[in-house]
Structure 1
Amino acid sequence: MAGSPFRLAIDRAPGRIRLATYGFTALFSMIAVQLVTLGLEPYEPRAVSPNPIAQVRPEIIDRNGIVLAKDLDLFSVYAEPRRIIDIDEAVEGLTEVFNDIDPGELRRKLMSGSGFAWIRRSIAPSVADRVWSLGLAGIHLRREPTRVYPNGAAAAHVLGAVDIDNRGVAGIETWIDATSSAHEPESTKAMGDVTSPSVRLSIDLRIQHIYAEHLRSALRTYDAIGAAGLVLDVTNGEIIALVSLPDFDPNDPGLALHPDRINRMQVGRYEMGSIYKALTTALALDTGLFTLDSTFDASRPLSIGGASIDDFRGKRRVLTLPESFIYSSNIAMGQMALAIGAPRIQSFLKVLGQYDRIKTELSESSTPIVPSRWSNVTTATVAFGHGIAVTPLQGAMALAALVNGGNVITPTFLAERGLGERLRAQGVVKPETAAILRDLMRLNVEAGSARRAALDPIRIGGKTGTSEKVVGGVYSKEKVMTFFVGVAPIDSPRYLFLTILDEPSGLPETFGFRTSGWNAVPVTRRVMGEALPLLGIPSWTTLAN
């Protein structure tokens, strides 16, 4: 056949053409193999450099191991507009998957010629499959960790929230970012356990739920505009529950920006009214200037430099020190304070942490509003909780120190963190002073303004407080805040409960009264009755059985 005129052209071609033909055949064979291989492999999102990669966050659990926050793998859709081949096809396909997307805005985005543009963040895997099946050039998927809060609004003000890139913007979520690496969480370092992938809070979700439900009921019953509740372990400063209403769902944190959704316990600053009478009484006893046998003339208002201080429904007679406490006499407290003197009162308040912004794991907190100058009127009014505004958590910290034997402990939201630097001061009152104050708080539940807190046979101690709100620079007679601090068991204090109601209304069954004893006290009693058994302290119903 060598001389046949029918030889193939390739056989007559020079050697270099033959070599090129073989090379192209091999090249296209390799491409075909690669395409088949890629088609069989599962999709892996390609890395994107123009935008930060959402960070992986540790789980947040409550003290009993219940998950409060965790990451789930979702997908985000992004475009490389300059690589899109058919914009009309891309717009049609994406609007079919995302029927709520604006086609005009999407078209403008895809026609921008930029290197990167987000289409949709945090979509479910099933939706990501639909996008992938479109096979659109220049449209990509990226797997991203997305934060979810399975219990909704529960403990929202403690947990905080994250932004679209999974970075903390409030609460414990912000603390995690400040204390751990973005990709290698060591968020439990403060607890001495760097191997744990979770952040374990001191919060007990069960108690949190109980308090939240009773406060929601109280908002409706008393037509209040807000409420808050706290359970604090006075022995170590651990916060067992913190509720602030109205709250928000961290899965949709937009509502958190509304001004009425602040953390009332750590951000709100309030004149705590008669709650401060516990501090004044403790200092009066601790200085030795007064004893349980001391008496005070409360038969008429106390006049100081033209100002008049009177009691709410006063007894109009001479009162003993215990009576001054349980009947919540402003007149008697003013007399005590004037005898003690402003320097001693100021020093006592400072050591109790009432002058400084409280620093917990939550960055959201407020600086107290303290008097810029102290007159005799200031000294007398601060004695019964007017003229100084602190966060309720600060007030709780001070009261905890007075009942636990004199240790001022900065509260914490972490379980088993240890005291360390959180032990701010020791022995701020004598042991005998703390014992007398506990007896007075118990007497207040038995025969004073906190009678509706009785939870026999558990011995509860407590102190009520009602303060008029400042409206337009003056105290309002129509708007009040009510407070109640209950301690259980009062003979060997472990837990402090603090309830706040903002602008409660008087009811027919309260005879029109809106003071603490008629609203904050019974609410706290119901909370304590359900929570104490779960905390290892049986309620009267448990003991009765």
Structure 2
Amino acid sequence: MTTISASPQFFQPPQRRRRSAIGGVLRGLIWTRAASAAAARSRVTVVMLGFMLLFCVFVGRLVYFGALPEHGSAAWRSAQDSIAAARPDILDRNGDILATDIRSVSLFAEPRKVLDADEATELLASVLPELGDSATRAKLASNAGFVWLKRELSPAKQQQIHDLGIPGIGFLQENKRFYPGGNVAAHVLGGVNVDNQGIAGLEKTIDGQGLADLHALGFAQNEGLAPVKLALDLKIQHAVRDELIQGIQRYHAQAAVGIVLNVRTGEVVAMSSVPDFDSNDPTEGLEKDKINRATAGVFELGSVFKMFTIAAALDTGATTLSSVYDASVPLRIGRFTIHDFHGKHRPLTVPEVFIYSSNIGTGRMTLAMGGWRQFEYFKRFGFTHKLQTDLPEVGAPIVPRQWKDITAVTASFGHGISVSPMQAAAAAVALVNGGIYIPPTFFPRTAEEAAKIGTRVVSARTSAEMRYLFRLNVEKGSGRKANVPGYDVGGKTGTAEKVIHGRYSKDQNLNSFLAAVPMDNPQYVILTVLDDPRPETPGAGRSSGANVVPLAGNILRRILPMLGIQPKPDTPAESLLAAN
């Protein structure tokens, strides 16, 4: 007999099975509705939280804009633009800060919210007397949405004005440029205006390299601007400037210039023109005697030019180091007569023409070479066109329109042609570095980068011959007072009569000395200039050998160790101590 087994449910009565099925359906419906209700409550909660967040943001923005001036006005937008004009830090080659931004507070007004212009003017004048004028009253009585009243307030003045509680008067934080060194690199750095925009020097250059465009587009905000590094060395810059100031005092000069160039890269390691100004107050730079004489001023540099003439004559083959020129009598050209300042009154070799700085010998050399060839070399040296460099303050050279024989002869010893000291220093670099002209730069540059943009102006042989003449002049000629023990210094002096009211003055000179070091492997060119030096003591001379040469020697003693140039191993210790 077959047995069938099944679950008890299989044998439930039909009525009971129907009730069980209906209960299951009801339980399912109840669970589904409960889940739906919970999901709906969650969605409502999320929506409510979202609305609450938007409401808070909306109210916050209303409060924020309610506390601000009428930001829809063009004046207010302009103010915001100036506030956002942050500038990058400027660093020297070692990372020392030359210029940076700090935060300052400025005073503004919303004239439409000023209740009583007369009362507001009177209250402001109690703290800032300069705001008690009719111009301030007119601003406060106008219908403008926003006006500046005073830029860069001190915290104490800000608090005093705040305590007055004048309706429609407020404060804004903005950027202010600060130069920790003050005057040290003024003509290099330049300065900015009250809106933190570059108006002179490398500050203006940096704006022209894209910073101004970033400001206009709103990308240059308060942070994130990469610092700008210069080739300048702050320690050397300070030493050069300090010695120039002492030189002005010692020799009662009107002004002085000092330039240090790397002959392999063209980098400006130091450049100072004294008198200078405090970059924190660039309006001082507008004073006439504080012009940047290093690049913006052009001068007749006198006998310094003889090195360029002699280099051209050697390079063309028109002369050699063994050539001899008659300097026993003056050189006559038409109605003009050329004399020597300290004549030897005898024939001179080329080295003697150089170390005795003979106008007659250099003039005869020029005539033998040909004036047109001399002019071509002057073009190569950069004397016939404006210097190409990073500073916006660059003077154009003054070159004779016609290059006649007398013009060529006088130009051979630096009369009748005016260039900036930086132009002369840059050209001298080519005379000692193997013959390559390298445009000077205030930004870092490698020797490899310089090689790509350098142009050959004289041969390597001519450069070697000029180095010999440079060293000979410091050993035996007019540059002896710059012969720093332990270092092979070379150079050429220049004593030029200044042009006063169109005539050459007999008692005012512009003296210069261009040095290079070390002459066996030149690394740096140093140009020093004194404007109208006087005898240090009664009876002392006024030529360059008596003032600018010893001044250059003092500069060299201070900076050569900083430049990493080691003295010769066989130099006696007592000589080094005496030199420093």
Both structures adopt the same fold (TM-score exceeding 0.5): yes
After TM superposition, the score normalised by the length of structure 2 is: 0.82
> Are 1:367 and 2:415 counterparts?
no
Give the Cα–Cα distance (whole angstroms) in 2 for the partners of residues 325 and 423 of structure 1. Answer: 32
Deviation per CA, 1:235-288, whole angstroms, max 9, x where unpaired?
A: 100001111011011111112111211111101111111111111111111122
The answer on whether the counterparts of 2:271 and 2:294 sit within 8 Å (CA) in structure 1 is yes
Which residue of structure 2 aligns with residue 298 of structure 1?
327
Given candidates 555, 561, 569, the residue that maps to 1:527 is 555
| Structure 2 partner of 1:59 | 89
Cα displacement string for residues 153-202 of structure 1 (whole angstroms, at most 9, x for unaligned residues): 111000001111111111001111111234858xxxxxxxxx97111111
| Partner amino acid, structure 1, of 2:540 | G
Letter in 1 for 2:434: G
Matched letter for residue 183 of structure 2 = A
Q: Name the SS of the counterpart of 1:435 in structure 2.
A: helix
Alpha-carbon distance between aligned partners in 2 of 1:543 and 1:202, rounded to the nearest angstrom: 31
Picking from 370, 374, 377, the partner of 1:345 is 374
Separation in 1, partners of 2:574, 2:167: 68
* Counterpart amino acid of residue 213 in structure 1: D
CA shift, 1:213, in A, is 1.1
| Residue 277 (structure 1) aligned with residue 306 (structure 2) | yes
Deviations 1:318-345 (A, max 9, x none): 1111111100000000000001111211
Structure 1 counterpart of 2:254: 225
Letter paired with 1:528: L
Q: 1:450 to 1:46 in 2, by over 3 A?
A: farther
Deviations 1:56-95 (A, max 9, x none): 1101111111111111111111111122124355334423
- Tell me the distance in 1 between the aligned counterparts of 2:453 and 2:396: 17
Aligned-partner Cα distance in 1 for 2:286–2:200: 11
Residue equivalent to 2:502: 473
Conservation of the 8 A alpha-carbon contact between 1:46 and 1:142: no
Name 2:32's counterpart in structure 1. Answer: none
Which of 436, 439, 443 matches 1:414?
A: 443
- The answer as to 2:270 corresponding to 1:241 is yes
CA contact (8 A) 1:158 1:172 kept: yes
Query: Match for 1:286: what amino acid?
Result: D
1:138 to 159, 168, 186: 168
- 417 and 433 in structure 1: CA distance in 2 versus 1, 3 angstrom threshold: closer
Q: 537, 554, 558: which is aligned to 1:508?
A: 537
Alpha-carbon shift at residue 111 of structure 1 (Å): 1.8
User: How far apart are the structure 1 equivalents of 2:561 and 2:190?
Assistant: 29
CA RMSD of aligned residues (A): 2.7
Q: Does 1:256 align with 2:285?
A: yes
What amino acid is aligned across from residue 263 of structure 2 in structure 1? Answer: V
Distance 2:349 2:576 in 1: 36
Deviations 1:92-120 (CA, angstroms, capped at 9, x unpaired): 44234324532554333312333332211
- The answer for unaligned runs of 5 or more in structure 1 is 1-29, 186-194
Amino acid at match of 1:512: A
2:489 maps to which residue? 460
Alignment of 1:101-120 (within 5 A): 101-102=131-132, 104-120=134-150
Distance 2:415 2:241 in 1: 28
Q: Deviations over 1:124-167 (max 9, x none)?
A: 34543443444332112121111111111111000001111111
Q: Once the two structures are superposed, what CA deviation does each residue of 1:407-451 show, in whole Å capped at 9, x if it has no partner?
A: 111100112367758965533212121111101100000000101
Match of 2:423 in 1: 394
Q: Secondary structure at the match of 2:207?
A: helix
Aligned to 2:47: none
Q: Residues of 1 paired with 2:330 and 2:213: CA distance?
A: 65
- Between the aligned residues of both structures, percent identity stands at 43
1:159 to 165, 181, 189: 189
1:308-366 deviation digits (Å, cap 9, x = unpaired): 00100111111111111100000000000001111211111111111110121111111
For 1:135 and 1:456, locate their aligned partners in 2 and report how far apart those are by CA, in whole Å: 70
Structure with greater proportional helix content: 2
Q: Does the aligned pair in 2 maintain the 1:60–1:68 contact within 8 Å?
A: yes
C-alpha separation between the residues in 2 aligned to 1:490 and 1:331? 27
In the alignment, the residues of structure 1 paired with residue 392 and residue 449 of structure 2 have an alpha-carbon distance, to the nearest angstrom, of 19
Distance change >3 Å, CA 495–CA 46, structure 1 → 2: farther
On the 8 A contact 1:274/1:328 being kept in 2, the answer is yes
Q: Given the alignment, which residue of 107, 120, 126 partners 1:90?
A: 120
CA contact (8 A) 1:60 1:198 kept: yes
Counterpart in the other structure of 2:564: 536
Rounded Cα–Cα distance in structure 2 between residues aligned with 1:277 and 1:46: 67
Residue 358, structure 1, aligned to residue 387, structure 2? yes
Q: CA deviation at 1:46?
A: 8.2
- Which residue of structure 2 lines up, in the alignment, with residue 445 of structure 1? 474
Letter in 1 for 2:541: F
Paired residue secondary structure (2:211): coil
What is the identity, as a one-letter code, of the residue corresponding to 1:118? W
Matching residue of 1:147: 177
- Secondary structure in 2 matching 1:501: strand
Amino acid of the structure 1 residue aligned with 2:259:
L
Gaps of 5+ in 2: 1-54, 216-223
Q: Secondary structure at the match of 2:94?
A: coil
Q: Distance in 2 between matches of 1:332 and 1:73?
A: 62
Distance change (3 Å), C-alpha of 1:46 and 1:418: farther
Q: 1:74 corresponds to which letter in structure 2? A: S
Q: Is this contact kept in 2: 1:45–1:143, CA < 8 A?
A: no
- CA deviations over 1:204-256 (Å, ceiling 9, x no partner): 11111111111111111111111111011111000011110110111111121
Partner of 2:13: none
So what's the TM-score if we normalise by structure 1?
Answer: 0.87
For residue 497 of structure 2, give the secondary structure of its aligned residue in structure 1: strand
| Alpha-carbon separation, structure 2, partners of 1:424 and 1:355 | 19
Alpha-carbon separation, structure 2, partners of 1:437 and 1:490: 10
Aligned residues: 503
Tell me if the contact between 2:265 and 2:446 (Cα under 8 Å) persists in the aligned partners.
no
